[in-house]
Structure 1
Amino acid sequence: MENAADTDPDPIKLKSIKNNRTFTVPQKHRFGNCRSVKEFEKLNRIGEGTYGIVYRARDTRSDDIVALKKVRMDKEKDGIPISSLREITLLLKLRHPNIVELKEVVVGSHLESLFLVMSYCEQDLASLLENMPTPFSEAQVKCIALQLLRGLDYLHLNFILHRDLKVSNLLMTDKGCVKIADFGLARCYGIPLQPMTPRVVTLWYRAPELLLGTKTQTTALDMWAVGCILAELLAHKPLLPGGSEIQQVDLIVQLLGTPNENIWPGFTRLPLVGQYSLRKQPYNNLKNKFTWLSDAGLRLLNLLFMYNPLRRATAKDCLESSYFKEKPLPCEADLMPTFPHHRNKRAAPAVESQSKRNKVLASR
């Protein structure tokens, strides 16, 4: 009778905790209930984030095109990274049209080789903004913003903070459907709020309470990022492109004025306030920045950029904003423009088109 190790070209050997003896895992039990990544044909590399490389791939069993995200295990000695476990756990539970779908987890030939099979989206918004010949119209911006807000409202109702919203983490299908992606920094929250690390959210989209060292985090930090994304789509460029935390705080103050205890109770007690020398700037300059925007649009931006997190607009508040009910009305998702699949034509090393954006990623 053939031994499993004799027929398996790449045997997996494990050591028993009970008697310290080594044994070979039979081929049929190697992956448990997971499929092998060999059942997927990698077509091209489409991105690389903090937590893994993403490929466009074909499922040879169903012939579907999927996104295959390889989990980074470079520095892990104790199993799967906690960020990946969180992402897998959350995405397996979440089902919403504006949240990227995790179809299954598949494995490679080694124990440290793990892949997430996600629904495939043709584009990410950051790539589109860099490659579009003409910017989105205001009606199209409203369509994108509404979809983002619906997905975020669903997350917040389920007590989940995304904590890394930015244009490169918003994907778009060829039918104009926007999906929130990359849940590596997402966390469940509850009451009472528990302390979490403040060094989350990419710098350009990071709320002032995070920059000033708040120990507790609420849905308001995601809403600040929504304000930055909406403003970026309207202005066709990033709103607050700071190169450091000090510069980021200064850009916020230049735009919105200097915070104080009257508009933000508890501001002076934030841990890192003493590390910043805030310029004296008494004015809110949003209206000067967006001279062409309607009163309803400016009101929405101001609500998203409230210094006091307790007064900042929620996703539900924003969905009811009169800005989305006035002309130009949001276009339907299936009427959004389609784009050449430029990222699928690139050679693998050329994927890093967003070098400047990637340089200001928060240290995790």
Structure 2
Amino acid sequence: MIWRGIFGGTYDTVHQQEQVLKAPKFRDERSKKCQDRRNLLSGAVSFALLGIGGLISALIILIADPYNILYEWKIQFGPGGEIFSLWEKPPVDLFLKVYLWNVTNSEEFMSGKAKKLKFQEVGPYTYRAQWKSSSKSFVHQHFFNFREVLTHENITFNDNGTLTSIPSHPLVWEPTLSEGRKESDLLILPNIALLSIADVVSKKGLFTRLGLNLIIRQTNAQPLVQMTAKEFMFEYKSTLMNLGNTFMPSWIYFDKLGLIDRMYEFRGDYETVFTGTDGLSNSGLTDTYNGSPKIPQWASPCGNINGSSDGTKFPSKIKPNDTLLFFRKSMCRAKPLVHVADTVVDGFSGYVYHFPNDTDDNGRDFEKNRCFCQEKDIEQCKPRGLLDVRNCYYGFPIALSYPHFYEADPVLFDKVESGLNPDPQKHQTFFIIEPNSGTPLNLAVRYQINMALGNLQNIANSGRFSNMVLPMLWIEIGMYGLPSSLKMRFKFYFEIIPIAQTCLTYALFASSTFGLLYSIYKLASARKHDENNPWIEDEFVLTIDKKLASYISERGLIQSNLDDEFYINYKTPLKRNIDNTKVEEVIVPIQFITLLAVSSKMSRIEDFFKIEKIGEGTYGVVYKGKNKNTGEMVAMKRIRLENEDEGIPSTALREMSLLKELRHANIVTLLEVIMDEPRLYLIFEFLSMDLKKYLDNIECGKYMNPKLVKSYLYQINEAILFCHQRRVIHRDLKPQNLLISANGVIKVADFGLGRAFGVPVRIFTHEVVTLWYRAPEVLLGAARYSCPVDIWAIGCIFAEMATKKPLFQGDSEIDQLFRIFRVLRTPTEDIWKGVSSLPEYHAIFPNWTSDTLSKQLKNLDEEGLDLLSQMLVYDPSKRISARGIAAHSYFKNVDLTVKPVFVEKKK
């Protein structure tokens, strides 16, 4: 308190160092003894308050548990959330290892000399995942650069506690991790196209089989062929596949076939996951895939994927007996995970999870898995350990198992002579998961892709493979540890913060105990002091008037710089008088002074009276008013100053600063600024209405006078040309911010988002300009932009004046972009150099190729349409400037005297 200075204490001013004032003199020695007693009591009270405060703080920490509050806040999925960022763009290395089954006795087997196939495991062929994410168009993207990027694209937050994204997993070849293997290795591998089509057609009619046999013999298609490892995995071309693509495109819509390529096919897929707002434990888990809580290939409950994880994040706060779900599209199901052990990885405690033994049973041994059998007769179901997934792979006879038929029925080895050696250490899937966050610490997902063939005796060149389960390859998707940066972050969150909170709690309890004990000691000392001084007459009389008689501020006009934020930390001396005795100067913050410094006039709010409210915004209200002294009509913008510490809204400061410098016939005039605590009033000149209201009042079936359109456009451009010449961009041009008068004048208003710019162009936020008038470079996330954003907005306003309706009426940023693309065609590098490098650009945006601008503005003449097309050029560097607009032939006969006709719209 300020009065504490009068008694010898301190006066603590806002944002300043405290200033020690001189204590009053005391009359005699007895006053000194009284002061000693006061000091003892003051010390006792201070330490008592310290002890009580520490005790209360410790109890608050124990009860509220700030760490848990922080944890729950971070674990929720939301823009900028930490766990969400890890899910969106995991900073870890994910590897795909592929092992191919090379047939070593193909000639002997095909000739009948060998009854069983011999296999050689060849691999690994290793590919690395570079994790990333982007907010791109909600369209499928297919990659052939072999880089797995487990992306969560086009992330859209929904109102029901979920978000929607698009999965995509491209791959990149890692030769250094492939143990000498090359993608060009030549191997003998199954002809997937022949055997798949043979299996499908074997169940068809006689004529269909005859047709296929004819094609097989004419093309000499063989079931075992030599090809490179890369061809088999990604791009094997086959005559049969070409024929299938040509004559049955709805079934075989691809012209080349590769097992890994088909596994990573996500065309048109999208997933919806929980954000955790309705329950932290499910944050990051799948709600639906392609709009459904189950995949259509299986009957319930086998097809359920609700509550599963794609491996980036599992449930939070896992308990040891919890069963988790892991879903990957290539596995054609969500598999349960059970806790089997605890371990420590890089200093972090983790739970070890395996797939249970009954996971790949088809109902023969476990009735609950009966829905995984594709056959009506249970005896016809695939053997244990072999899951029939043909419905997930285009009807091809694909079946999944563990690598080397680990834990599968021994019957699967009947037609395999050698090469398969199951080993749980190499072939069993495991996950190690940190239980608090649900983040994987280590994982290896392993499964084998096989062909489970039927009776092929009636298909040419294929009979030797009848009723055979033919292994083709097996894969391991592995994440073998966390990067150092993530380890440090986890260590901070899971170890340091909890320990720090515990230490702080004990320290507060200790300090509170010390404070209370010391206060008791001080009280005892004060009592002893009283005993030694049984009576002290307190003759200390306070003669100071406790009312500040006056204060005088030394205020100067502060010059603003358009390229900087408003002034800060300006200090003004404040003098005070107490009982006519001059006391030392103290410091007060500029908030109380600078508001007056903005204006050179000294009007009071009492000099105006309000007539009616004409508008309302985030920070205040606008009234139509009148100056009592001059009779002048004004617009009064009242800004609320609810929090002294926060001060004036930045938009108001910018508007005051810029309008002091921008004096032009087509820019609204700021007359003065009045401080009437706790409100700030900006007094503007008054104009009749805004352009939006004028357009709304034009009768149905009628349009603005073309001469008035031309006049208004010319005046708006003159104002913006004036601004741009002074290195100011408006950034919020729209009809609501253009004010008109009855004499045909239009003025630009509301510079709250205006900014000064320089060379090089500064980095600005992209959250500017009302959506319908926002330039495409801003919509696509350009951090650097300048005057062309205003030109685009003027072009949109020009079109709206000509047609009475906005040209691009998007309801979201992506919808706004698509509406622009439909009219002006989708931009490419040819028409806008550098567009593909913008953060929000996606090469797979829908491709609109026609420019339909002229069809949208049939009532605009040829010169007007030419000017508008130059204002709506995609490339900002090629967009016409304000100076170029002023010189355009459209304004050859501009009439600035034409006046608007104000007509109230009939209801």
TM (norm. structure 2) is 0.34
Q: What's the counterpart of residue 896 of structure 2?
A: 332
Q: CA deviation at 1:83?
A: 1.6
Specify which of 13, 18, 40 is matched with residue 608 of structure 2.
Answer: 40
- Cα distance change on mapping 1:201 and 1:262 into 2, 3 Å: same
Distance 1:194 1:63, change over 3 A: same
The reply to whether residue 238 of structure 1 matches residue 806 of structure 2 is: yes
Counterpart of 2:761 in structure 1 is 193
Runs of 5+ consecutive residues of structure 1 not aligned to the other structure = 1-13, 344-364
2:705 to 137, 145, 156: 137
Instruction: Could you list the structure 1 runs, at least 4 aligned residues long, displaced by more than 6 angstroms after superposition.
Output: 20-23, 27-31
Q: 1:86 maps to what in 2?
A: 654
Secondary structure at 2:778 match in 1: helix
Cα distance change, pair 233–74 in 1 and its aligned pair in 2 (3 A): farther
Alignment CA distance shift 1:297-1:238 (3 Å): same
Q: Secondary structure at the match of 2:854?
A: helix
* Residues 95-148 of structure 1 deviation map (CA, whole Å, 9 limit, x = unaligned): 10000000110121x2x3101100111110011111223431111100100000
1:313 maps to 2:876: no
> CA offset at residue 20 of structure 1?
8.4
State the partner residue of 2:862. 295
Given the alignment, which residue of 234, 258, 261 partners 2:826? Answer: 258
Letter of the aligned partner of 1:114 in structure 2? L
CA-atom RMSD, angstroms?
Answer: 2.5
Alpha-carbon separation, structure 2, partners of 1:51 and 1:284:
41
Q: Distance in 2 between matches of 1:251 and 1:174?
A: 35
Matched, 1:285 2:886: no
Answering whether residue 757 of structure 2 is matched by residue 160 of structure 1, we say no
Task: Tell me what 1:348 maps to.
Answer: none
Query: Partner residue of 2:187?
Result: none
The letter of the residue matching 2:801 is L
Higher relative contact order (CA 8 A, sep 6+): 1
State the Cα deviation string for residues 235-293 of structure 1 (Å, max 9, x = none).
Answer: 1111111111111000000010010111111100001113x852111111111112343
Distance, in Å, in 1 between the alignment partners of 2:746 and 2:635 is 15
Show CA shifts across 1:180-215 (max 9, x none). Answer: 000000000000111010110000000000000001
- Consecutive unaligned residues of structure 2, counting only runs of 5 or more, are 1-11, 22-545, 554-591
1:175 counterpart residue number: 743
CA shift for structure 1 position 51 = 4.2
- 1:360 corresponding residue in structure 2: none
Whether the 8 Å contact between 1:124 and 1:168 is mirrored in structure 2 is yes
**Secondary structure, aligned partner of 2:789:** helix
Show the counterpart of 2:377: none
Alignment partners' CA distance in 2, 1:225 and 1:168: 12
CA shift, 1:67, in A, is 0.5
Are the aligned partners of 2:688 and 2:740 in contact in 1 as well (CA < 8 Å)? Answer: yes
Give the Å deviation of 1:330. 3.2
SS in structure 2 of the partner of residue 273 of structure 1: coil
Alignment of 1:140-151 (within 5 A): 140-151=708-719
Amino acid at match of 1:330: V
Alpha-carbon contact 1:35-1:107 (below 8 Å) kept:
no
After TM superposition, the structure 1 = structure 2 runs for residues 98-117 of structure 1, keeping only pairs within 5 Å, are 98-108=666-676, 110=677, 112-117=678-683
Say if 1:202 and 1:50 are closer, same or farther in 2 by CA, change over 3 A.
farther
Q: How many Å separate the matches in 2 of 1:45 and 1:25?
A: 38
CA distance in 2: counterparts of 1:254 and 1:90, whole angstroms: 37
| 1:26/1:179 CA distance change after superposition, 3 Å | farther
Partner of 2:542: none
Amino acid of the structure 2 residue aligned with 1:315: A
Between Structure 1 and Structure 2, how many residues are aligned?
A: 322
Match of 1:361 in 2: none
- SS of the equivalent of 1:200 reads coil
Deviations 1:288-322 (A, max 9, x none): 11234322111111100100000001111111111
Partners of 1:51 and 1:184 within 8 A in 2: no
List per-residue Cα deviations over 1:220-248 (Å, max 9, x = no partner). 00000000000000011111111111110
Distance apart, 1:58 and its partner CA:
0.7
From the superposition, tell whether residues 268 and 105 of structure 1 become closer, same or farther in structure 2 (CA, over 3 Å). Answer: same
Q: Given residue 680 of structure 2, which amino acid in structure 1 is its aligned partner? A: L
Contact 1:54-1:70 within 8 A present in 2 as well: yes
The CA distance in 2 between the partners of 1:24 and 1:205, in whole Å, is 54
Counterpart residue number, 1:3: none
* Counterpart-to-counterpart distance in 2, 1:40 and 1:61: 8
Q: Structure 1 residues 19 and 192, CA, compared in 2 at 3 Å: closer, same or farther?
A: same
1:357 corresponding residue in structure 2: none
Matched residues in 2 for 1:20 and 1:179: separation?
54
Q: Does 1:119 align with 2:682?
A: no
Please, what TM-score do these two structures have when normalized by structure 1? 0.82
Q: 1:265 to 1:51 in 2, by over 3 A?
A: farther
1:242·1:251 contact (CA, 8 Å) conserved in 2? yes
- Give 1:40's aligned amino acid: F
* Distance in 2 between residues matched to 1:257 and 1:154, nearest whole Å: 32
Deviation at 1:36, TM superposition (A): 2.3
Amino acid at match of 1:126: K
Structure in which a larger fraction of residues adopt strand = 2
| Alignment CA distance shift 1:28-1:260 (3 Å) | same
**Distance in 2 between residues matched to 1:25 and 1:258, nearest whole Å:** 71
